[in-house]
């Protein structure tokens, strides 16, 4: 089972700093992460997904999760996805996969212009361990748990979207 942890920051560059810390902790085997990526929203309100080098030993390929989540959460065109009905359908699919409406609402409210957020996928670790390492950076912690079934369904959808 995996847990998706999202932490939002008021600064556009803070999530990049956090990612560097995650990579360091991972290299020291202090945390066990499947993957991480971050999102920035600049002063003009443009949202960008910054894919990390996969942190997992298995190379699970969760980088595409960024495009799917951001496309559905913020209704922006990502990786050739269209705004409108297709994006709305993605939001419904994410809800079906265990990412609930309140999580989407909270995350959307936190990512304002000149801000950033980091998305962390944790497996076989208490999420509190990761949060403790990141707490000195501040930010607003949002978190949702994905069931094994939801994770497998999401993987299948991500693989399908990578093939198109």
Mean pLDDT of the chain: 70
pLDDT of residue 79: 40
Residue 113 CA: distances (Å) to CA of 10, 49, 52, 148:
9, 14, 22, 34
pLDDT band at 160 (very low <50, low <70, confident <90, very high): low
Instruction: Report pLDDT digits (tens) over 116-141.
Output: 998 887 776 666 666 677 788 988 87
**Residue range 88-101: mean pLDDT, rounded:** 58
Contacts of 70 (CB under 8 A, 6+ apart): 39, 47, 49, 76, 78
17 is in which domain, residue-wise? 2-163
- pTM score, whole prediction: 0.69
User: In the chain, how many domains are there?
Assistant: 1
pLDDT at 102 > cutoff 50: yes
pLDDT-derived band at 100, boundaries 50, 70, 90? low
Q: For the chain, state the CA radius of gyration.
A: 15
Q: What is the mean pLDDT of residues 59-70?
A: 52
Give the residue carrying structure tokens 């920051």.
9
pLDDT in tens, 11-23: 999 999 999 988 8
């Amino acid at each position: 089972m995996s847990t998706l942890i999202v932490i939002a920051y008021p600064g556009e560059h803070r999530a990049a700093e956090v990612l560097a810390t995650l990579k360091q902790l991972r290299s020291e085997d202090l945390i066990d992460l499947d993957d991480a990526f971050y999102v920035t929203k600049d002063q003009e309100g443009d949202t960008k997904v910054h894919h990390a080098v996969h942190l997992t030993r298995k190379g699970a390929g969760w980088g595409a999760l960024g495009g799917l989540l951001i496309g559905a959460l913020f209704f922006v065109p990502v990786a050739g996805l269209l705004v409108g009905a297709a994006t709305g359908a993605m939001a419904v699919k994410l809800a079906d996969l265990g990412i609930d409406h309140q999580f989407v609402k909270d995350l959307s409210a936190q990512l304002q212009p000149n801000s950033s957020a980091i998305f962390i996928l944790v497996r076989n670790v208490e999420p509190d361990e990761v949060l403790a390492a990141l707490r000195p950076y501040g930010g607003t912690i949002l978190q949702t748990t994905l069931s094994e079934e939801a994770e497998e369904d999401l993987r299948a959808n991500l693989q399908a979207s990578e093939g198109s």
